[in-house]
Amino acid sequence: MKRRVGVGTGIAVAMLAGGCATLAIWSAPEKAPSAERTPAAQRADGLFWRTLHDGEYEKIPAALTALTAAYLENPNDAVTAAHIGWMHVWRLAERARLDPVPPSITDHAVLSRRYFEEAVRLNPTEARYLGFYGSMLLAEGAIHKDEKLVRKGYFTLLESVKAFPEFNYFTAGYSMSSRPHDSERFREGLEYQWLNLNVCVGDKVDRQNPDYRKYLHLETKEGPKRVCWNSWIAPHNFEGFFLNFGDMLVKAGQPDVAVRMYANATLTPDYATWKYQDVLQDRMRNAARYVEAFRQERPAPGAPRIMSQSRFNCMACHER
């Protein structure tokens, strides 16, 4: 009898302890965003933008050191957290620059996801953070063969699209561009690029002849549609968008439409200073030849690569 009481008491104590732990965690104060940014954060921002806009991939570690120091000084700064996440994205995304590519490169997906998660937590109204968070969840899930994480990333991306379609149709679609060409997710990603054009111009763009000249008068630097054009943040966003869209069309087996899509990148005056003109012109000449090349999951060294697997994965839009 005493033994039964002892067992019952032990279970009760364990349940009480578990309840106390749950209650303690539930009642902990939420982490609040900081109202002001520190001088260290502002200096780190300057280094972040110089490194990004100058395309200095090799200087990512120095930028991360400055950003992380600023974050540790003030871990309630959503912008600093997001910038750390972005540096890790860039390090992972343009790993084709490295020879050889170290296996530890995948750690950048984990770190990026963690910092974007923090940025979303501190500023849940910034849908761009949410889109990058969803994208990194997808990447991390794919690396670890974790289907639950992949699905969480996918539905987080859908949530981000609803919140800011002009920006996150691209983010979601680009995240899916490396999937097999005959997969449901790749087809969905390609559809998102078409929907991105439609939401940017308020029209249904002709899918056989996507000539963007008639929409150029819609360019704006204000409101949600500002992200559809070039900006200080992404000096060649317009050109990079159409380069990627063309690449995805090539991979889908539509090289003729891809050539018309590529041509849109030349319509902005900023094209004259874009560093990837030669890449675009090569694709326009060889679109039909690159269909199979763009479908390779692991391209051979020196082989043509779809933009999402390239050395200019991020720089096609962000390099000055």
Average pLDDT over residues 73-82: 98
Q: Return the structure tokens found at 171.
A: 């983010």
Each residue's pLDDT tens digit, 234-267: 999 999 999 999 999 999 999 999 999 999 999 9
Band (pLDDT 50/70/90 cuts) for residue 31 is confident
Q: Smallest Cα–Cα separation from 194: which of 143, 245, 240, 144?
A: 245
Band (pLDDT 50/70/90 cuts) for residue 12 is low
Q: Would you call 111 helix, strand, or coil by DSSP?
A: helix
Instruction: Find out if CATH 1.25.40.10 is the number for domain 37-163.
Output: yes
Q: Smallest Cα–Cα separation from 315: which of 104, 108, 2, 54?
A: 54
pLDDT at 15: 54
| Helices marked H in the chain | 2-26, 39-53, 60-73, 78-93, 107-122, 127-143, 147-163, 165-175, 184-201, 237-251, 255-264, 277-286, 291-294, 315-318
The amino acid at residue 119 is A
Model confidence at 274: pLDDT above 80: yes
Taking the alpha carbons at both ends of the chain, their separation in whole angstroms is 80
Average pLDDT over residues 149-154: 97
Residue 23: how many other CB atoms lie within 10 Å: 10
Question: What is the CA angle 79-82-83, rounded to 5?
Answer: 85
Rounded CA separation 257/249 (Å) = 7
Buried b (16+ CB within 10 A) or exposed e, 178-212: bbebeeebbeebbebbbbbbebbbeeebeeeebeb
Segments of the chain assigned to CATH 1.25.40.10:
37-163
Model confidence at 24: pLDDT above 90: no
pLDDT at 2: 47
Q: How many CA atoms lie within 13 A of 161 on its CB side?
A: 22
Each residue's pLDDT tens digit, 298-312: 898 889 999 999 999
pLDDT at 66: 98
DSSP letters, 158-222, are HHHHHH-HHHHHHHHHHHTTTS-TTSHHHHHHHHHHHHHHHHHHTS---SSS---GGGGGG--SS
The amino acid at residue 287 is A
Model confidence at 79: pLDDT above 70: yes
pLDDT at 17: 58
Average pLDDT over residues 32-57: 96
Band (pLDDT 50/70/90 cuts) for residue 21 is confident
Rounded CA separation 317/275 (Å) = 10
pLDDT at 19: 75
Model confidence at 10: pLDDT above 70: no
pLDDT at 110: 98
